[in-house]
Structure 1
Amino acid sequence: MVAVTISAAGKLPLAKGLPATVEVSAQATVGDIKKALQAKFPKFKVSRQKLSRKGDKKSLMNEATLTSAGISDGTELEAKDLGPQIGWTTVFLVEYGGPLLIHPLFYHLPQTFYRQAVEHSPLQKYVYGMVMAHFVKRELETLFVHRFSHDTMPFRNIFKNSAHYHILSGVLLAGAIYSPTYSATSSYIVNTIRDNPRFLQGCTAFWVFCQLSNFSTHMTIRNLRPAGTRRRAIPYGYGFGLVSVPNYFFETLGWTTISVMTGSYAAWFFTFVSTYQMLVWAAKKHQQYKKEFGKEYPRNRKAMIPFIF
């Protein structure tokens, strides 16, 4: 058995008895230490715990073995309370569920929001189908495809994360696109390219290509990480020959297509905000890959936009 002493990093009301010593087997993981700590302090749930070596703020991963984490008999660790947590699966379901509720309300109840009936144009019908299909795809991927690097995130963050989807791609986008401005009798639509079946079908075909490409890259990432692990590996295959996160690139192309189709300020605003955020995430992921895999990582890859960034 290995005895580990755990003290509190700052105030820790849920474990007032710290410092305390827990014992685990030599083959245990950091996650097992957290379970042993919860056994002593039941209110201090595993999901709330951050463990690090004393004097080192770097968090120890749950799946790390004692040997790989440099933990031996007598090692001293520090525990920090991360606060109330929520699972990433739940987070994504809530985020993407917003537009799936909001868009049908604006589309099917125009008199409630615009005080008049709206004869939907082919453009509105196409965009409605595309938006709904996109977020249904995201929900299904959350349930059956994605494998997350972390089990939970702080509960308070769900409000900030959800606002992006519920407000920008929900209320703002739906309120603009299904309004009389884009109706079948609007001068913005009648006898313009936005009333041209070939234009609408061509844009939709390209959008489908983007969605399928995005899904393909998600499957590639999933297959790199066996279920129940945090394993990381260099992704190869479709899209990854040029950039580190092609899923973000195809996501951007998909929303750009909707923006071009509609010309809507709301669609362009959501696309710009989303693209900026994905560029930030892509740069971070790209640097993580290069740091973790060093010379093994393909040098010609960009972060998100082929040949540019």
Structure 2
Amino acid sequence: MVSQITLIVEPRGKPIRKLPKDVTVTLTSSGEELYSAIAEASGASVHRLRITKGSDRSVVPNAKSTTIKDTGLKESSIIHVKDLGPQIAWRTVFIIEYLGPLLIPALFLFPLRNLIYFNFDKPLPEPSDLQLLVCLLLTLHFLKREYETIFVHRFSNATMPARNIFKNSAHYWALAGFNIAYWVFRPDAAAASANPNPILVYAGIALFVFSELANFNAHLVLRDLRRPGTTERGIPSGFGFNWVTCPNYMFEILAWLGIYLVSQLSWSVLFFTLVGGLQMWSWAWKKEIRYRKDFGDKYKKKRTVLIAGLF
């Protein structure tokens, strides 16, 4: 006979209408089933709820793989339920994030050119071939990101707080969109030259193409570690994963360094790359720590998490 227990339910933060005072589950019930039961009873979206244990405030995972017994909850244990507020799907977040830098370069280079560079002598010169090339590389990069968002990535969390969409989008819209487009496409930019350094151009194109393909391959490896609709994790292996914890981040940075070379060393591209690189370095270390914790001796520890031989 399956053992049933009754958990005491208390709100945390703002009150949740119709939140039940208790909920009955079995020790073999999953965390996902607990979330669903409370969501159904309260009428709240399951994605808005976060359940924590009253004893130590640790989060009860909303996962099929975690049972009530695994969490340590017992008869009459107290759980706190918090309303996280309006949510937005992670896939939607990424689509919006990348849409800005996907469209902004072409807008700056063509229909908005005379308005943006109003302080230059008229008529403005036509965009150089190199500026057109940089625009093409930026467009290809973010088209790839949109494709991966829709068809490749599998997200461990279904949603995030809707208010975060502005913060998350600012990095890409401001730094990768407005910042790079304005400075690289100026009539007096280094990329506007009719005689750019060919070594920088060809080296940058080669680095960009190689890195984008390698980055895509890394994303496919990570995608295949997780079955659709699950949050399970596995140990990634394959090209780049023996060098660093997150080769997808490494190849992302290398692709941007390729654009930096093609742009004739524009500081705006380098600035975006450095800011993004620091964030990815932080994420990579957190992932390395999580791999070591989750997989123990099965995981080969990495000292270099981001750039082979450096970080």
TM-score after normalising by structure 2: 0.89
| Corresponding residue for residue 303 of structure 1 | 305
Q: For the Cα contact (< 8 Å) 1:4–1:76, is it kept in 2? A: no
| Corresponding residue for residue 21 of structure 2 | 20
Q: For the Cα contact (< 8 Å) 1:5–1:19, is it kept in 2? A: no
Q: Does 1:190 align with 2:194?
A: yes
CA apart distance, 1:26: 5.6
| Corresponding residue for residue 49 of structure 2 | 49
Which structure 2 residues correspond to residues 102-141 of structure 1 after superposition, within 5 A?
102-109=104-111, 110-115=113-118, 116-141=123-148
SS of residue in 1 equivalent to 2:69: coil
Q: Which amino acid aligns with 2:175?
A: L
CA apart distance, 1:18: 4.9
CA apart distance, 1:89: 0.4
Superposed CA deviations along residues 167-216 of structure 1, whole A, max 9, x for unmatched, are: 000111111112212488x5xx23341xx3x6423321220100000000
Q: Which amino acid aligns with 2:115?
A: T
Q: Does 1:69 align with 2:71?
A: yes
Q: Aligned partners of 1:65 and 1:170: how far apart in 2?
A: 45
CA apart distance, 1:49: 0.8
Q: Aligned partners of 1:104 and 1:28: how far apart in 2?
A: 53
Q: Which amino acid aligns with 1:98?
A: G
Q: Aligned partners of 1:100 and 1:300: how far apart in 2?
A: 34
Q: Aligned partners of 2:202 and 2:307: how far apart in 1?
A: 26
CA apart distance, 1:8: 2.6
Q: Does 1:171 align with 2:173?
A: no
Q: Which moved more, 1:21-30 or 1:230-239?
A: 21-30
Q: Does 1:180 align with 2:187?
A: yes
| Corresponding residue for residue 58 of structure 1 | 58
SS of residue in 2 equivalent to 1:8: strand
CA apart distance, 1:300: 4.6
CA apart distance, 1:133: 0.6
User: Would the alpha carbon gap of residues 308 and 205 (structure 1) be closer, same or farther in structure 2, given more than 3 Å must change?
Assistant: closer
CA apart distance, 1:284: 1.1
SS of residue in 2 equivalent to 1:153: strand
| Corresponding residue for residue 219 of structure 2 | 218
CA apart distance, 1:62: 1.2
| Corresponding residue for residue 36 of structure 2 | 35
CA apart distance, 1:25: 5.5
- The unaligned stretches of length 5 or more in structure 2 are none
SS of residue in 2 equivalent to 1:239: coil
Q: Does 1:232 align with 2:239?
A: no
- The unaligned stretches of length 5 or more in structure 1 are none
CA apart distance, 1:74: 4.1
Q: Which moved more, 1:263-272 or 1:134-143?
A: 263-272
Q: For the Cα contact (< 8 Å) 2:8–2:76, is it kept in 1? A: no
CA apart distance, 1:241: 0.6
Identity rate, percent? 39
Q: For the Cα contact (< 8 Å) 1:124–1:183, is it kept in 2? A: no
User: Would the alpha carbon gap of residues 180 and 6 (structure 1) be closer, same or farther in structure 2, given more than 3 Å must change?
Assistant: farther
User: Would the alpha carbon gap of residues 192 and 39 (structure 1) be closer, same or farther in structure 2, given more than 3 Å must change?
Assistant: closer
Superposed CA deviations along residues 4-47 of structure 1, whole A, max 9, x for unmatched, are: 324335333223x55612234665322222222122221x3211
SS of residue in 2 equivalent to 1:67: helix
Q: Which amino acid aligns with 1:155?
A: A
Q: Aligned partners of 1:79 and 1:156: how far apart in 2?
A: 20
Q: Which amino acid aligns with 1:190?
A: A
Q: Aligned partners of 2:6 and 2:283: how far apart in 1?
A: 36
Q: Which moved more, 1:56-65 or 1:17-26?
A: 17-26
Q: Does 1:100 align with 2:107?
A: no
Q: Aligned partners of 2:76 and 2:241: how far apart in 1?
A: 45
RMSD: 2.1
Q: Which amino acid aligns with 1:113?
A: I
| Corresponding residue for residue 261 of structure 1 | 262
Superposed CA deviations along residues 231-271 of structure 1, whole A, max 9, x for unmatched, are: 11111110001101000001111111212222212111111
Q: For the Cα contact (< 8 Å) 2:125–2:187, is it kept in 1? A: yes
Q: Aligned partners of 2:88 and 2:8: how far apart in 1?
A: 25
SS of residue in 2 equivalent to 1:217: helix
Q: For the Cα contact (< 8 Å) 1:242–1:301, is it kept in 2? A: no
